[in-house]
Structure 1
Amino acid sequence: MPEILIADDHPLFRDALSRAAAQALPAVDLFQADSVPALLALVESHANADLLLLDLQMPGARGFSALAHLRGHYPQLPVIIVSAHEEADVARRALAHGAAGYVPKSMAGENIVEAIHAVLDGEVWLPSQLSGGSAELRGNEAMLAGRIAELTPHQFRVLGMVADGLLNKQIAYELGVSEATIKAHMTAIMRKLGCNNRTQVALAASQLTLDPGNVIAVDE
């Protein structure tokens, strides 16, 4: 039986996506996550899922970082972004980061059904008002996305918490591990992202936000 994963932090919209998925595939197993940490655990336990419906704005990630991480670890998993953002630029960046479709949350359920059918058939789906133009990434964005894809799931969780301003001691408490373990993760994160300190790590995480004004340079 096909498996579809649904990741959104709003219960009502998870329900709406579930209904659309069930309409697209009457015989389907649906699995939900309400945060990026929950999503990472879900994808790990359902690595052969047929499709992921992913909200860009969820606790534990910023902008396209979760998409970049998942595409690096699960390139076989098609991802449809379902977002409140309706800008064509955001949709094209999502495709450039490896999404197979982009659905604004304002669209009707039948549009989500159409997108699911198209992506499962191997196509790329965009609503007509967002189509056209090239799917390109700015500056160092592609390079940083590649580096984020190299992070382990644990390192990616730590990165999200650093971006949220948490200290090592707070992260250790939240994850139930020692502060020494977090320091080891931070060392690996800085090496993989090409950063020299914690501030650079937090700034690098902001490069994949949806606001182009937040994009900063990362050392080559």
Structure 2
Amino acid sequence: MPLTILVADDHPLMRSALRQTITLGFDDAVVIEAARFDQIEPLLVESDVVDLIVLDLHMPGMSGFIGLMTLRADHAGIPVLVVSASEEPATIQRAIDCGASGFVPKSAPNAAIAEAVQAVLDGEIWMPPVADVPEDGAPPVQRIASLTPKELRVLAGIAVGKLNKQIAFELDVTEKTVKAHVTTILRKLGVHSRTQAAVLASQLALTTPPTEPEVSERPTGPA
């Protein structure tokens, strides 16, 4: 089934560049475009399935992060990759906090944009290397305890290196559902990759207890 990606940006040249990057990097991708925020909802309704929204924060009608939060509230199953001219760490962090699954500067090379698209489609959170999510100060136990039972089962699969499709099969859910869980898990844990989530989970792993020496039975009477 082909990928359907909605590119929402008010600059025609930027939409063209994003379309070219996506179609070159993903042979089966179908790209639809919006030039204003109010065009996004009708396109989502018209399209059977949209796998990803690539969103400019500064397009007309966005109202800043309110537009992003509205999209996430109305279409929680569709990940959003923000593509913005801003490269300020505070802006990047705010976008992630408001529900974006990734943030890539418009100045980034095509390869980085394609990498960001793939990561977000895989259910991960993608940001520029300089914008790593800071630790929130909460210990691993507290952060992992914030996960729901389903999210904990997905994290357990991630911790042992299972693929999304393997986790989906074991939990009897769709791969898309697993990807959505992975995105939520990364956000709750304050990390932006499956590897970091696995490392965090490994801190709660139990080590194998030392083998106790066998106690041989001895006669209680005199030798």
Corresponding residue for 1:179?
none
Corresponding residue for 1:67?
68
- Structure 2: runs of 5 or more not aligned: 137-223
Deviation track 1:97-143 (CA, whole Å, cap 9, x = no partner) reads 110000011111111000011111111100101113258xxxxxxxx
TM-score (structure 2 length as normaliser): 0.58
Corresponding residue for 1:85?
86
Q: Does 1:50 align with 2:51?
A: yes
Say if 1:85 and 1:104, in contact at 8 Å, map to a contact too. Answer: yes
Corresponding residue for 1:116?
117
Deviation, 1:47, is: 5.8
Deviation track 1:73-94 (CA, whole Å, cap 9, x = no partner) reads 1000010000011001111111
Q: Say which one has the larger Rg.
A: 2
Query: What amino acid does structure 2 have at the position aligned with 1:23?
Result: L
TM-score (structure 1 length as normaliser): 0.59
- Structure 1: runs of 5 or more not aligned: 136-220
Secondary structure of the structure 1 residue equivalent to 2:133: coil
Secondary structure of the structure 1 residue equivalent to 2:45: helix
Query: What amino acid does structure 1 have at the position aligned with 2:8?
Result: A
Query: What amino acid does structure 2 have at the position aligned with 1:104?
Result: P
Query: What amino acid does structure 2 have at the position aligned with 1:7?
Result: A
Corresponding residue for 1:14?
15
Mapped to 2, the partners of 1:134 and 1:34 lie a distance apart of 36
Q: Which aligned pairs between 1:1-220 and structure 2 lie closer than 5 A?
A: 1-46=2-47, 48-133=49-134
Greater relative contact order (Cα 8 A, min sep 6): structure 1 or 2?
A: 1
Mapped to 2, the partners of 1:132 and 1:60 lie a distance apart of 28
Mapped to 1, the partners of 2:90 and 2:48 lie a distance apart of 30
List, as ranges, runs of 4+ consecutive aligned residues in structure 1 with deviation greater than 6 Å.
Answer: none
* Residues 1:54 and 1:134: Cα distance change in structure 2 (over 3 Å): farther
Deviation, 1:45, is: 1.8
Deviation, 1:38, is: 1.0
Tell me the percent identity: 39
The size of the alignment, in residue pairs, is: 135
Say if 2:35 and 2:59, in contact at 8 Å, map to a contact too. Answer: yes
Mapped to 2, the partners of 1:77 and 1:134 lie a distance apart of 26
